[in-house]
């Protein structure tokens, strides 16, 4: 009979998420994950199958955290909360800008296994659908279709993420968010 894991899976995933977030999937080695999580390589492989398996769990945890922060809000507030949470996560106190794990991972698709590519694309599509549904519920008839606005909002998040990784301060990121939110 197999022994149950002697570690907190959520804590290991959270630690790995922070590594992927700061170093990217491509830039993260198993050695770095071993150091960050405190697990031995065999335990990581047994629990997650591969680095990409651990990445997929980290990406799902990251996305769930952001969705939870925005749940239950009216459409405009939900998008505003999403942008505020994105900025908060992009410029953590005392650390270099990390940007968004999801959007940074999207720029690394060529380095990922097929399952991870599908996970990143699925999360991006879910974000786009969420934004499009919010825009549609607002009921404005002027301007582009809700899907086009949603895609532009996702692109604005990607821009904020890139600016954060390049060292932009919070004020710059908030200025970009305010400009993007004028679409609503």
For residue 172, what pLDDT is reported? 94
| Long-range Cβ pairs for the range 27-31 (8 Å, 24+) | 28/55
pTM for the whole thing? Answer: 0.82
Check pLDDT > 90 for residue 56.
Answer: yes
Which region among 27-41, 42-56, 88-102 has the lowest average model confidence (pLDDT)? Answer: 88-102
pLDDT, mean of residues 48-62: 93
Mean pLDDT, residues 136-155 taken together: 82
Quote the pLDDT of residue 54: 95
Q: What is the pLDDT of residue 44?
A: 93
pLDDT for res 176: 96
């Amino acid at each position: 009979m197999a022994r149950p894991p002697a570690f907190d899976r959520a804590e290991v995933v959270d630690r790995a998420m922070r590594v992927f977030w700061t170093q990217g999937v491509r830039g993260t080695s198993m050695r770095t994950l071993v150091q960050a999580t405190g697990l031995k390589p065999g335990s990581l492989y047994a629990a997650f199958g591969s680095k990409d398996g651990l990445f997929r769990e980290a990406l799902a945890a990251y996305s769930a955290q952001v969705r939870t922060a925005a749940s239950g809000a009216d459409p405009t507030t939900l998008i505003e909360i999403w942008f505020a949470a994105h900025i908060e996560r992009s410029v953590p106190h005392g650390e270099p800008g990390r940007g968004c794990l999801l959007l940074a991972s999207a720029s690394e698709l060529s380095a990922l296994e097929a399952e991870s590519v599908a996970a990143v694309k699925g999360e991006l599509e879910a974000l786009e659908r969420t934004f499009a549904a919010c825009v549609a519920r607002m009921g404005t008839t002027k301007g582009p279709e809700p899907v086009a606005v949603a895609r532009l909002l996702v692109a604005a998040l990607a821009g904020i993420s890139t600016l954060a990784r390049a060292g932009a301060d919070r004020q710059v990121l908030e200025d970009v968010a305010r400009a993007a939110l004028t679409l609503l």
